[in-house]
Each structure stands twice: as structure tokens, then as C-alpha cells.
Amino acid sequence: MIEPIKLSPSSLNLFKDCPRCFWLDKIKGISRPEGIFPSLPSGIDKVLKEHFDKHRAKGEVPKELDLKGVKLFADMDKLKVWRSNFKGISYADSEGNILRGAVDEILQKGNKLIVLDFKTRGFPCKDDTHEHYVDQLNIYNFLLRKNGFETEDYSYLLFIHPKEVTEKGTIVFHLDLKQIPVNIKQAEQLWKDALKCLAGKEPKASEECSYCNWERSK
């Protein structure tokens, strides 16, 4: 009996980066070497979620959003599940394969939900910075719709980067809110393509993959 496949936005990102590395990770259990993961983004995520939750409890929207007709998603119990890396928002297809993702924040406009994701950077955004996160936002919206929720045809990225240090030694961060169109069909196709890859033989090494190139050079 074939075990169901469990995928996430990060694993689908690996698939797009290199199908062979993705296949080796999921089928053979051979993962890419893990680098040092900076703790600052996780720390910023934590304090931002606490900041938003304080406003949620008051029925308010943080001023930095400056969005008309938008409120914070009120169901805190559900949001706690959706934020969890161990639970998140999940969907299983007819064969039991599971796609799961954990969100940072959910907004609501009328009956529709809007995904808001936090991104901490060391420098201001470039014109194409948001493009690295389009698939992630597509997947979150795909999962919400598969769970019976309506979503807007866009999401938001809240970019955070250090701006300056005050005379008192306080680090000031700049927040930049970007609206990003989402495409549900692209998310579903990406998932199907990834599952098809895993059902086949080991893909050929990509010439653009530094990990595959390193292996060939040994």
C-alpha cells in the first residue's frame, strides 16, 4: 500500500527549485543539508502576531494596515490551528495525499477572507521581491477555499526591515504592505505536478541546482 504524500508550501517550493532534490527528499528521505536559520524572522513573527491579537481582542485593526472595509478574522480558536506548523490549514485529495500550510494572519472583508503574511528582511524590497512568495499565497488561498471559505482574489505581504536606531538605542523597523494577486488554479496545478513527480522515477539532475552540481563534482 502506497503511503499518502504530505506536502507544504516549502516542499512545493523545493519541487520548483529542483524536482530531483524534491524527489530524493520525499521518496528516499535524502534531504538537502540544512543551513543556519536566522531566529530574527521568527521573533518578529511572534511579536507581530501578539500585536495583531491585542487589536483583535479590542475589535480593532492595526493602524499600519490602513485598509478600508477590512477587519481581523475574529475566530481566534480557528486561527490558532491555522497558525500551527503541526496542524495548519490542510486538505486531503481522494487518494489521501495531504497539502498543509500555516498562515500568519487572516483578514476579513465582508464574507471573504484575505491572507496576510509577514516577511522580515534586512533591506527594503526590490520591485520583484514579492514574486518569491506568490506560490505560497496561492497555496494558502487554495487551502482555504477547499475548506469551504471564500477568499478575495488577492492577498497581502507585510514586509518588515530595520530602518534606523534612535538616540535612545531603539531599533525602528519600516513596514511595507503589498497587495498580491492570487491564482488558485496555479496552486492546484503545482500540487498535482509535484505528486506526479513523486509517482515517477528519479528525475534527472538539474544543471541549475547547486546541490546536484556538487554531487556530480565529487
- Residue 106 domain-assigned? yes
* Residue 2: per-residue pLDDT: 59
Question: Is pLDDT above 70 for 196?
Answer: yes
Please report whether residue 20 resides in a domain. yes
Within a domain: 60 = yes
Q: Does some domain include residue 1? A: no
pLDDT in tens, 13-40: 999 999 999 999 999 999 988 877 778 8
Q: How far is residue 82's CA from residue 20's CA, in Å, rounded to a whole number?
A: 30
What is the reported pLDDT for 33?
83
Instruction: Work out how many domains the chain is built from and give that number.
Output: 1
Q: Which domain holds residue 200?
A: 6-217
Instruction: Examine residue 40 and state whether it is found in any structural domain, yes or no.
Output: yes
3-state SS track over the chain? CCCCCEECHHHHHHHHHCHHHHHHHHHHCCCCCCCCCCCHHHHHHHHHHHHHHHHHHHCCCCCCCCCCCCEECCCHHHHHHHHCCCCCEEEECCCCCEEEECCCEEEEECCEEEEEEEEECCCCCCCCHHHHHHHHHHHHHHHHHHCCCCECCEEEEEEEEEEEECCCCCEEEEEEEEEEECCHHHHHHHHHHHHHHHHCCCCCCCCCCHHHHHHHHC
Rounded to two decimals, the pTM is 0.93
| Between 218 and 206, residue with greater pLDDT | 206
What is the tens place of the pLDDT at every residue in 166-191? 999 999 999 999 999 999 999 999 99
Q: Determine the average pLDDT of the residues in 116-142.
A: 94
Q: What is the CATH number of the domain that holds 26?
A: 3.90.320
pLDDT over threshold 50, residue 1: no
Position 175 in a domain: yes
User: For residue 201, is it within any domain?
Assistant: yes
Residue 62 lies in a domain: yes
